[in-house]
Amino acid sequence: MRKTLSVLLTAAMATSMLAACGSSNTQATTAAPAETKAAETQAATTAAPAETTVAEVTEAAKEAAASGDTITVGFAQVGHESDWRTASTNSVQAALSKENGIDLQFVDCDNDSAAQLEAVRNFIQQGVDYIVIDPIVSTGWDTVLTEADDAGIPVIVIDRTIDDSDKYVSWVGSEFTNEGLAAGAWLKAYVADKGISEVNALVISGTTGSSAQIGRSNGFDKYVESEKWNKIDEQTGDFTQEGGQKVMESYLKSYEGKFNVVVCQNDNEAFGAIDAMKAAGVSYGVDGDVIVISFDACTAGLQKVLAGEINADFQCNPLQGPDCLNIIKKLEAGETVDQKTFMAEPWYVAEDKLKDITYTNNSGKEVTEPLVVVDQAVVDAAY
């Protein structure tokens, strides 16, 4: 372990472990309403530390880096399945950089849960200072997180959630159920506006058992039930373009002419589904027979919204690197960190008729959120 920061780190570990213990209690009880999330996470944080403390530690980290005595962080990333994932990897690599005093060990787990557990175990064996995990699936974590805990290595979880263990210090990511609920609320308002009386939906879901898939499916299914929509089928495209295309090709064999909505749980699946519909001569998007819903809102996805090929795209923000760095800096400074940090996420649409949607979010609170019509500036500002 590096020398320069070892004293600070000892203090930080004690605090982070306390924070981790504390978090297990709040975790069970704290649901996070979108509109109060900033306030909640603020409230969960202890009194704001003197800026100088963080600055001093950052300075120390930079000095340590200059002397080759850096903070080592192991990052077990899901894989490279989508545009979103590329943006996530870039964000973490840019933030957890040599310039910021961090020696990042990056493992691309290629969507293989066993490989991801092994990567984390390797980090523990190497004795890295921190472990960052974007968990492929939400369960199967408690044993390895206990091992990290026993080794005194703080674990930070980003993006997807871990649902069967509380042995991590902090999580930063998205409220996936709200994304699914927002998609349902938008579809309900959209078909009412267009005078479409029947919804026959096909879903191309993400990686089965990932919290992103579970949340988006659960949220949308609430509307399937309440609106008595016909959900014809739901099969996984594994968050890939190839998967989206294959699932749509098989759907077209079974259900061509019988569906008017396709819900793709990420942009890359939507690209594949669109290619398959195009090849089969099925019209889609704002001028077509099939309404296309997507999630992520990456640059290429928003380009398709702008072109009217995707009707609505529900953002999931992958830029979690800076938050991750901030958490590490705070732990280094011996500060308490937020147990949960939610990313801000707008909902994007192709047409300007509906201004907003109102729905009951995952915390049981009625919220009204704006719909952003995509123009070139929105596309240019995307990731």
Chain contacts with ligand GYE (rule: CB under 6 A): 81-82, 84-85, 159-160, 212, 239, 266, 295-296, 316
Name the minimum Å distance from CB 268 to ligand GYE.
6
Q: What's the closest the beta carbon of residue 62 comes to ligand GYE, in angstroms?
A: 32
Q: Which is nearer to ligand GYE, 260 or 294 (CB)?
A: 294
Q: Which is closer to ligand GYE, CB of 212 or CB of 367? A: 212
End-to-end CA distance of the chain: 35
Shortest distance, position 151 Cβ to ligand GYE, whole Å: 27
- The amino acid present at 2, given as its one-letter code, is R
Going from the C-alpha of 267 to that of each of 139, 192, 285, 304, the distances in angstroms are 25, 25, 14, 9
Q: In the 8-state DSSP scheme, what is residue 82?
A: S
Tokens found for residue 306? 């702008």
Q: Closest CB to ligand GYE among 204 and 333?
A: 204
- Complex with ligand GYE: residue 186 or 295, whichever CB lies closer: 295
CB of 366 to ligand GYE, least distance (A): 25
Closest CA to 270 of 232, 298, 230, 228: 298
CB 278 within 8 A of CB 269: no
CA 383 – CA 373 distance, rounded (Å): 17
> Of the two residues 79 and 334, which places its CB atom closer to ligand GYE in the complex?
79
Nearer to ligand GYE, 285 or 318 (CB): 318
Of 134 and 335, the one with the shorter C-beta distance to ligand GYE is: 134
- Residues 6 or more apart whose Cβ sits within 8 Å of residue 361: 33, 34, 175, 178, 181, 367
The distance of closest approach from Cβ of residue 50 to ligand GYE in the complex, given in angstroms and rounded to an integer, is 35
Residues 6+ away with beta carbon under 8 Å from 243:
204, 236, 237, 269, 272
In the complex, the smallest distance separating the C-beta of residue 183 from ligand GYE, rounded to whole angstroms, is: 12
> Shortest Cβ distance from residue 5 to ligand GYE (Å)?
31
Helix (H) or strand (E) holding 102: strand 102-108
CB of 162 to ligand GYE, least distance (A): 13
Element (H, E) at 194: helix 176-194
Distance CA 264, CA 301 (A): 11
Shortest Cβ distance from residue 253 to ligand GYE (Å)?
Answer: 26
CB of 267 to ligand GYE, least distance (A): 7
Q: Which of residues 81 and 129 has its CB atom nearest to ligand GYE in the complex?
A: 81
Burial of 179 (C-beta count, 10 Å sphere; 0-12/13-18/19+) = buried
Measure the CA–CA gap between 193 and 185, rounded to whole angstroms: 12
The residue among 85 and 231 lying less far from ligand GYE, judged by its C-beta, is 85
Query: What whole-number distance in Å separates Cα of residue 9 and Cα of residue 92?
Result: 21
Angle, CA 372 vertex, CA 313 and CA 87 arms, to 5°: 50
- 84 vs 383, which CB is nearer to ligand GYE? 84
Q: At what angle do helices 6-29 and 321-332 cross, to 10 degrees?
A: 120
